[in-house]
Amino acid sequence: MRDESCMRQQSLHRLALLAVAVSVVLAGCVAPSAPSTQDGYSDAQWSMYYGGGCLGDPSPNGGWLYWAASGDGYVASFNATFAGTSDVETSMSHTPTGVYTLTITPTAGETKPGAGDCEPGVTMGASVGLPRDFESFRVVYDGRVLAAAPNDGETTAELVDLPTPVNRTTTNATGQ
Protein backbone atom coordinates (compact mmCIF):
# COMPACT_ATOMS: atom_id res chain seq x y z
CA MET A 1 0.00 0.00 0.00
CA ARG A 2 2.85 2.39 0.85
CA ASP A 3 4.57 1.69 -2.51
CA GLU A 4 1.33 2.55 -4.29
CA SER A 5 1.11 5.83 -2.35
CA CYS A 6 4.72 6.69 -3.21
CA MET A 7 4.12 5.88 -6.88
CA ARG A 8 1.01 8.06 -6.85
CA GLN A 9 2.97 10.96 -5.29
CA GLN A 10 5.75 10.57 -7.88
CA SER A 11 3.19 10.54 -10.68
CA LEU A 12 1.52 13.66 -9.31
CA HIS A 13 4.93 15.36 -8.98
CA ARG A 14 5.78 14.53 -12.60
CA LEU A 15 2.38 15.76 -13.74
CA ALA A 16 2.88 19.04 -11.86
CA LEU A 17 6.33 19.51 -13.42
CA LEU A 18 4.86 18.82 -16.87
CA ALA A 19 2.11 21.40 -16.26
CA VAL A 20 4.68 24.01 -15.23
CA ALA A 21 6.86 23.21 -18.26
CA VAL A 22 3.87 23.57 -20.60
CA SER A 23 2.92 26.89 -18.99
CA VAL A 24 6.50 28.12 -19.43
CA VAL A 25 6.47 27.17 -23.11
CA LEU A 26 3.08 28.82 -23.59
CA ALA A 27 4.20 31.93 -21.72
CA GLY A 28 7.24 32.08 -23.99
CA CYS A 29 5.09 31.74 -27.10
CA VAL A 30 2.56 34.32 -26.01
CA ALA A 31 4.77 36.96 -24.40
CA PRO A 32 8.51 36.39 -24.63
CA SER A 33 9.30 39.98 -23.80
CA ALA A 34 7.62 43.24 -23.01
CA PRO A 35 7.86 46.38 -25.13
CA SER A 36 10.65 48.77 -24.20
CA THR A 37 9.86 51.78 -22.09
CA GLN A 38 11.19 55.30 -22.59
CA ASP A 39 14.00 54.56 -20.14
CA GLY A 40 15.38 51.87 -22.45
CA TYR A 41 14.45 48.76 -20.48
CA SER A 42 11.46 46.47 -20.36
CA ASP A 43 9.05 45.45 -17.64
CA ALA A 44 8.99 41.74 -16.95
CA GLN A 45 5.72 39.97 -17.65
CA TRP A 46 5.05 37.39 -14.96
CA SER A 47 2.52 35.05 -13.50
CA MET A 48 2.62 32.95 -10.37
CA TYR A 49 0.71 30.43 -8.31
CA TYR A 50 1.00 29.31 -4.73
CA GLY A 51 -0.85 27.33 -2.13
CA GLY A 52 -0.29 27.15 1.59
CA GLY A 53 -1.22 24.76 4.34
CA CYS A 54 0.55 21.85 5.98
CA LEU A 55 4.05 21.16 4.69
CA GLY A 56 3.77 17.38 4.55
CA ASP A 57 6.53 15.49 2.75
CA PRO A 58 8.05 17.78 0.09
CA SER A 59 8.89 16.14 -3.22
CA PRO A 60 12.57 15.51 -3.81
CA ASN A 61 13.92 17.76 -6.57
CA GLY A 62 10.80 19.90 -6.17
CA GLY A 63 12.68 23.20 -6.10
CA TRP A 64 14.32 24.71 -9.18
CA LEU A 65 15.01 27.80 -11.26
CA TYR A 66 15.04 27.30 -15.04
CA TRP A 67 15.68 29.81 -17.81
CA ALA A 68 16.05 29.71 -21.59
CA ALA A 69 15.84 31.92 -24.67
CA SER A 70 12.36 32.16 -26.16
CA GLY A 71 11.51 34.28 -29.19
CA ASP A 72 12.84 37.81 -28.68
CA GLY A 73 13.60 37.32 -24.99
CA TYR A 74 14.01 34.78 -22.24
CA VAL A 75 11.62 32.85 -20.03
CA ALA A 76 12.48 31.99 -16.44
CA SER A 77 10.46 29.50 -14.42
CA PHE A 78 10.70 28.91 -10.69
CA ASN A 79 9.25 26.38 -8.25
CA ALA A 80 9.91 25.95 -4.52
CA THR A 81 8.36 24.85 -1.25
CA PHE A 82 8.88 27.14 1.74
CA ALA A 83 8.75 25.83 5.32
CA GLY A 84 7.56 27.75 8.36
CA THR A 85 4.88 29.93 6.78
CA SER A 86 1.45 29.33 5.30
CA ASP A 87 1.35 32.56 3.28
CA VAL A 88 3.75 34.78 1.35
CA GLU A 89 3.73 38.19 -0.30
CA THR A 90 5.40 38.59 -3.68
CA SER A 91 6.58 41.47 -5.83
CA MET A 92 8.54 41.90 -9.04
CA SER A 93 10.98 44.75 -9.57
CA HIS A 94 13.82 45.68 -11.89
CA THR A 95 16.64 48.19 -12.14
CA PRO A 96 17.52 50.32 -15.18
CA THR A 97 20.56 48.07 -15.68
CA GLY A 98 18.36 45.00 -16.17
CA VAL A 99 18.44 43.19 -12.81
CA TYR A 100 14.98 41.64 -12.35
CA THR A 101 14.02 40.47 -8.87
CA LEU A 102 11.14 38.31 -7.67
CA THR A 103 10.88 39.04 -3.95
CA ILE A 104 9.09 36.54 -1.72
CA THR A 105 8.37 37.56 1.86
CA PRO A 106 6.89 35.14 4.40
CA THR A 107 3.96 36.64 6.27
CA ALA A 108 3.12 36.09 9.89
CA GLY A 109 0.06 33.94 10.00
CA GLU A 110 -1.41 30.70 11.10
CA THR A 111 -1.93 27.54 9.13
CA LYS A 112 -5.08 27.22 7.07
CA PRO A 113 -8.30 26.44 8.98
CA GLY A 114 -8.67 22.78 9.82
CA ALA A 115 -4.96 22.05 9.33
CA GLY A 116 -4.52 20.88 12.91
CA ASP A 117 -1.06 20.38 14.31
CA CYS A 118 1.30 20.56 11.38
CA GLU A 119 4.30 22.46 10.09
CA PRO A 120 3.04 25.24 7.83
CA GLY A 121 4.37 25.44 4.28
CA VAL A 122 3.81 27.13 0.93
CA THR A 123 4.48 25.72 -2.53
CA MET A 124 4.98 28.41 -5.13
CA GLY A 125 5.83 28.69 -8.79
CA ALA A 126 6.29 31.58 -11.20
CA SER A 127 7.00 32.17 -14.87
CA VAL A 128 8.65 35.39 -16.01
CA GLY A 129 9.13 36.78 -19.53
CA LEU A 130 12.39 38.75 -19.69
CA PRO A 131 13.86 40.96 -22.42
CA ARG A 132 16.86 39.63 -24.36
CA ASP A 133 19.22 42.16 -22.75
CA PHE A 134 18.36 41.44 -19.10
CA GLU A 135 21.42 41.32 -16.82
CA SER A 136 20.09 38.79 -14.31
CA PHE A 137 16.93 37.41 -12.74
CA ARG A 138 17.03 36.85 -8.98
CA VAL A 139 14.71 35.09 -6.56
CA VAL A 140 14.93 36.68 -3.11
CA TYR A 141 13.34 34.95 -0.11
CA ASP A 142 13.12 36.64 3.29
CA GLY A 143 15.77 39.22 2.29
CA ARG A 144 18.34 36.73 0.90
CA VAL A 145 19.13 35.83 -2.71
CA LEU A 146 17.97 32.24 -3.02
CA ALA A 147 18.88 31.77 -6.70
CA ALA A 148 19.98 33.85 -9.67
CA ALA A 149 19.86 33.41 -13.43
CA PRO A 150 22.64 35.46 -15.03
CA ASN A 151 22.35 36.42 -18.70
CA ASP A 152 25.56 34.95 -20.05
CA GLY A 153 24.39 35.17 -23.66
CA GLU A 154 23.63 31.45 -23.87
CA THR A 155 20.35 30.52 -25.53
CA THR A 156 20.26 26.94 -24.27
CA ALA A 157 18.21 26.11 -21.21
CA GLU A 158 19.87 26.26 -17.79
CA LEU A 159 18.63 24.74 -14.52
CA VAL A 160 19.54 25.34 -10.88
CA ASP A 161 18.23 22.94 -8.22
CA LEU A 162 16.91 24.53 -5.03
CA PRO A 163 16.74 22.89 -1.60
CA THR A 164 13.41 21.30 -0.70
CA PRO A 165 11.96 22.75 1.44
CA VAL A 166 13.45 26.22 1.67
CA ASN A 167 13.51 27.69 5.16
CA ARG A 168 14.71 30.96 6.63
CA THR A 169 18.25 29.63 7.11
CA THR A 170 18.69 28.10 3.63
CA THR A 171 21.77 29.39 1.82
CA ASN A 172 21.51 30.41 -1.82
CA ALA A 173 21.71 27.83 -4.56
CA THR A 174 23.84 29.74 -7.05
CA GLY A 175 26.51 31.37 -4.93
CA GLN A 176 25.41 34.87 -5.90
> Which regions in the chain score pLDDT beneath 50?
1-42, 111, 113-114, 174-176
The confidence score (pLDDT) of residue 107 equals 82
* CA neighbor of 129 nearest in space, from 18, 29, 19: 29
The confidence score (pLDDT) of residue 117 equals 73
Within 13 Å and on the Cβ side, how many CA atoms surround 163?
14
pTM: 0.67
